[in-house]
Amino acid sequence: MIVLGVETAQAGGSVAVRHGGSVAASRSLADSKTQAEQLLPVIAAMLADARLAYADIDLLAVGVGPGLFTGVRVGIAAVRGLRLVLKVPAIGIGTLHAVATRAIGDLRAGESIYVVNDARNEEVYAQRFSASAAPGDDAVLLPLADAARALPADAVLLGTAAVLVAPFVGRPVRVLSGFGAADAATIAALAETRAAQPDFRDLGAPRPLYVRKPHARTLKEAKR
């Protein structure tokens, strides 16, 4: 199976292609402000690196957030367009799920995972996961102190806001550094695993996971 993964929900972003169960090529996006302009040319260059063509792709995967609103939209729009052209399934993967999955190999016996990513305005996107990165609940938006209170006793803390949340915990907590960002290779791997399940079915175009509304409001909302 050949899987194209796209992650633009966080700063920068990345793309990756898996072939035969391993990463064949990957590339990073240089600037979050130009994700829309960069994305398709970077994908094309990466496929050339792997000596693959768009027509070879069997499955699409994209990070659906929560994260940067513009970035989430850019990635999902690109994958939706490719899905229509290539006529292949597309799977959306939660950003926090991808972050948690990257940390599995660094856990100690008996530890679970708690991911907190910076949502700005002293808030975080938070979600609990088991030692195998199975989601324990849905992603939520919390103030820093509330996120600290929700930290499970057996959990390690990771994500882009881990160092912001840790001081509010009030007890020693193990913080894993270097696992703040999701990456396209992990998103592609998670989608490949899901597609291999006997009960897998194409659920249609991926949808964004915003958790909260964008700061930009419609004119009607602003007048209320």
d(CA 69, CA 10): 9
- Is the same domain home to 189 and 127? no
* CATH number for the domain that contains residue 87: 3.30.420.40
d(CA 59, CA 90): 6
Q: For residues 9 and 182, is the Cβ–Cβ distance under 8 A?
A: yes
77-99 pLDDT per residue, tens: 999 999 999 999 999 999 999 99
d(CA 34, CA 9): 13
Give the predicted TM-score (pTM) of the model.
0.91
- Is the same domain home to 135 and 26? no
pLDDT at 59 > cutoff 80: yes
Instruction: From 146, 168, 190, give the residue that closes a domain.
Output: 168
**Mean of pLDDT values over 30-44:** 87
- Is the same domain home to 31 and 50? yes
- Is the same domain home to 7 and 69? yes
Instruction: Give the pLDDT band (50/70/90) at residue 32.
Output: low
User: What amino acid is encoded at 138 in this protein?
Assistant: D
Residue 12's pLDDT is 85
Residue 122's pLDDT is 95
Query: Is residue 173 one of the residues assigned to a domain?
Result: no
Residue 7 CB neighbours (<10 A): 30
Instruction: Give the pLDDT band (50/70/90) at residue 139.
Output: very high
**Mean of pLDDT values over 19-27:** 97
Query: Is residue 111 one of the residues assigned to a domain?
Result: yes
Query: Is residue 102 one of the residues assigned to a domain?
Result: yes
Residue 217's pLDDT is 41
145-171 pLDDT per residue, tens: 999 999 999 999 999 999 999 999 999
Q: Cβ contacts of residue 169 below 8 Å, gap of 6+?
A: 148, 151, 157
> How many folded domains does the chain comprise?
2
d(CA 103, CA 67): 19
Instruction: Give the pLDDT band (50/70/90) at residue 102.
Output: very high
- Is the same domain home to 42 and 117? no
In percent, the amount of the chain with pLDDT more than 90 equals: 86
Residue 2's pLDDT is 98
- 198 preceded by cis ω (within 30°)? no
Query: Is residue 138 one of the residues assigned to a domain?
Result: yes
In percent, the amount of the chain with pLDDT more than 70 equals: 94
- Is the same domain home to 64 and 111? no
- Is the same domain home to 116 and 149? yes
Residue 30 CB neighbours (<10 A): 12
- Is the same domain home to 199 and 219? yes
Give the β-pairing of 112-120 and 155-158: parallel
**Mean of pLDDT values over 96-123:** 96
- Is the same domain home to 63 and 74? yes
Q: Residue 130: which domain range?
A: 96-168
